[in-house]
Amino acid sequence: MYLESVEQLIKIAKENGQTLGRMALILEAKDREVPEEHLLNIMRERLQVMRAAVTEGLQGNRSVGGLVGGQALKYQAWYNSGKSLASGVFGKAITYALAVSEANASMGLIVAAPTAGSAGVIPGVLLSIMEEYEIPEEKVIEGLYAAGAVGLVIAFKASLSGAQGGCQAECGSAAAMAAVAATELLGGSPEQAAHAGAIALKGMLGLVCDPVAGLVEVPCVKRNVSAAVQALAAVDLALAGITSAIPLDEVIGAMGEIGRELPISLKETAQGGLAATPTGKALAQKIFGRKEEKNGENN
């Protein structure tokens, strides 16, 4: 499907009396000349992979670089103890976002949404709402189409890659995509959903990509939590009837502009920001100072 603006999708959805998610699904099916059922099945599988990634992340495996692992498990215990500051959906979303990101960092199976580095945000937000509010699976699948449609607009107007736009393009986009989908799952109108997306993305503008040692571990795993929480707060504001002064399409445009202006050292090159801190550099040294490995007899 070709989509230039969220405004355009809202307009078509309203004309047809559909949610953004359902409308995106219908348009995509038309575009590909396949039955909607076929697309629902593809996304159902991806939703299952997201669920399995949560389970896998809660095994507590160490990441490949060794910088993360076991955090989801630790937070889950805290959440279950009833002492955590975040309760309900918020606490679950934190747990799930951590779990999927840790699964990713330990070479688990994930759905890049929109990227592998930001893979924890959408499952964190949508799976926790799905469970806590008993939302039917089909609605959540449609929600993933709403999220995907917003991602299409971001890809068109800005970028979804940390190397091009900083982390605002990865975790920020994921937050906006999740917020739009989640608002609809909770009964918000298409306009409210777009406001939630705008509010979420505004909160992530300017976020740089500065992974320690160039690995998708620090700060990526915890940034997925930040983005998920950002998205949930934005959903709550929008459902309360609070609007964004700047519409989502323009926030996306601003994000693209900011991404272009960010220096290259803050776009996944591991040369600036946290990667360039004394501790960041020491960790990189420790990871890559390890000895060569090989098998076999040849040199």
Main-chain dihedrals φ then ψ at residue 209, nearest 5 degrees: -110, 110
Query: Which helix (H) or strand (E) element contains residue 103?
Result: helix 88-105
Q: State the binding partner of 185 from ligand SF4, another protein, none, CB within 5 to 8 A by kind.
A: none
Say whether residue 222 binds another protein (CB under 8 A).
Answer: no
Check the CA dihedral 30-34-40-42 and report its sign. negative
Which residues face 267 on adjacent strands?
209
Nearer to another protein, 73 or 239 (CB): 73
Say whether residue 216 binds ligand SF4 (CB under 6 A).
Answer: yes
Judge contact between 282 and 67, C-beta under 8 A.
no
Give SS3 for 201: helix
| Alpha-carbon distances of 45 from 42, 57, 113, 133, 138, rounded to whole Å | 5, 18, 14, 21, 12
Say whether residue 34 binds another protein (CB under 8 A).
Answer: no
The distance of closest approach from Cβ of residue 101 to another protein in the complex, given in angstroms and rounded to an integer, is: 9
Say whether residue 119 binds another protein (CB under 8 A).
Answer: yes
Say whether residue 154 binds ligand SF4 (CB under 6 A).
Answer: no
Say whether residue 117 binds ligand SF4 (CB under 6 A).
Answer: yes
Judge contact between 61 and 99, C-beta under 8 A.
no
Say whether residue 107 binds another protein (CB under 8 A).
Answer: yes
Alpha carbons 26 and 37: distance in angstroms, whole number: 10
Annotate each residue in 190-209 with x if it binds ligand SF4 (CB under 6 A) or - if it does not, as one string: -------------------x
Give SS3 for 233: helix
- Residue choice 12, 86, 155, 233 for contact with another protein (CB under 8 A): 155
Judge contact between 78 and 84, C-beta under 8 A.
yes
Nearer to ligand SF4, 179 or 209 (CB): 209
* # residues contacting another protein (CB under 8 A): 56
Say whether residue 112 binds another protein (CB under 8 A).
Answer: yes
The CA angle 54-57-60, to the nearest 5 degrees, is 150
Q: State the binding partner of 190 from ligand SF4, another protein, none, CB within 5 to 8 A by kind.
A: none
Say whether residue 13 binds another protein (CB under 8 A).
Answer: no
Alpha carbons 210 and 218: distance in angstroms, whole number: 9
Alpha carbons 67 and 74: distance in angstroms, whole number: 15
Say whether residue 49 binds another protein (CB under 8 A).
Answer: yes
- Residue choice 20, 58, 140, 160 for contact with another protein (CB under 8 A): 160
Chain residues that interact with another protein, rule: CB under 8 A: 1, 24, 28, 42-43, 45-46, 49, 63-65, 103-117, 119, 122, 144-145, 147-149, 151-152, 155-156, 160-161, 163, 213-217, 287-288, 290, 292-299
